[in-house]
Amino acid sequence: MTPLVRTRERGVETLALDSPGNRNALSATLVAALADALTASAGDDDVRAVVLTHTGTTFSAGADLKNPPDPEALVALLRAIVELPKPVVARVTGHVRAGGLGLLAACDIAVAAHTASFAFTEVRIGVAPAVISLPLLGRTDPRALARYYLTGERFDAAEAARIGLVTAAGDDVDAVLAPVLDGLRASAPQALAETKRLLTAKVLESFDRDAETLTALSARLFASPQAREGMTAFLERREPSWVR
């Protein structure tokens, strides 16, 4: 059973993360399915834009600790979103944690409902938001990232919009999204592709410059004793040993 649901309406391809049993965690299976779907959308002339959304109450809980993707596969997925020659729009109505925030940052536009919540929880299990920083650092307020990266605090959709993590927030996410999709449908495909290329040039520079270093950092931290303790504590629903 695929962890991804694909639908299409008037040139907009919707990819819904559909693995509610693990809160749409980024498993190796889900990452591969999403990468394949993006490749198909890129080569389909009938697709004008892609909407990335979710089923259930969680957009994505971050990396699947039981079946994690290789860091290189996650880098490739984030880059595929950034490089896709069609706009990618995130539609979020639930919770977003850790690696899920990398997906949001890779998207060109992100719209969130006020019911959504966000947190960079990596530090609380002994790792760092390494790979997901590739799209995040160039698009999000640096002082806010310093706070939320280092503390793992939860914040709401209004704050996510204020710091540039999402484009807009509202009570009715589809009402907020409607004029965005109408605008994309009214735009010429070539113009969309070239305009996106202008907007993502700096982000792709960070991939070219830092991807190898951050991939190695991610692998090293996930293999560390502190990460093993943090992930074990998370799965056992207890505090890790370093909590005071």
In the chain, domain spans: 1-172+188-244
Q: Which runs of E-coded beta strand occur in the chain? A: 4-9, 12-17, 49-54, 58-60, 88-92, 95-97, 109-113, 117-119, 154-156, 168-170
How far is the CA of 81 from the CAs of 116, 146, 147, 182, in angstroms? Answer: 22, 25, 26, 21
- pLDDT at position 1, please? 72
CB atoms within 10 A of CB 8: 14
User: What does the CA dihedral 122, 149, 132, 26 come to, rounded to 10 degrees?
Assistant: 30
pTM: 0.96
Contact 120, 92 (CB under 8 A): no
Q: Which residue has the tokens 């919770």?
A: 95
The pLDDT value given to residue 2: 85
Q: Which phi and psi (to 5°) does residue 21 adopt?
A: -60, -30
CATH number of 1-172+188-244: 3.90.226.10
pLDDT at position 113:
98
pLDDT, position 55: 96
According to the model, what pLDDT value does residue 65 have? 87
Q: What is the pLDDT of residue 31?
A: 97
Question: What is the helix, strand, coil percentage profile of the chain, to 5?
Answer: 50, 20, 30
pLDDT value for 39:
97
Residue 109 pLDDT: 98
Whole-number Å distance between alpha carbons of 192 and 13: 15
Q: Which residues share a beta bridge with 15?
A: 6, 52
Distance CA 210, CA 57 (A): 33
| Residue 142 φ/ψ, nearest 5 degrees | -65, -35
Task: Spell out a b/e string for 202-220, using b for 16 or more CB atoms within 10 Å of the CB, else e.
Answer: ebbebbeebbeebbebbee
How would you write the pLDDT of the chain (244 residues) with one tens digit per residue?
Answer: 789 999 999 999 999 999 999 999 999 999 999 999 999 999 999 999 999 999 999 999 999 988 889 999 999 999 999 999 999 999 999 999 999 999 999 999 999 999 999 999 999 999 999 999 999 999 999 999 999 999 999 999 999 999 999 999 999 999 999 999 999 999 999 999 999 999 999 999 999 999 999 999 999 999 999 999 999 999 999 999 999 9
Which pLDDT score, from 0 to 100, does residue 159 have? Answer: 98
Q: Burial level of 28, CB count in 10 A (0-12/13-18/19+)?
A: middle
Q: pLDDT value at position 79? A: 98
Give the CA count within 13 Å in the CB-facing half-sphere of 233: 15
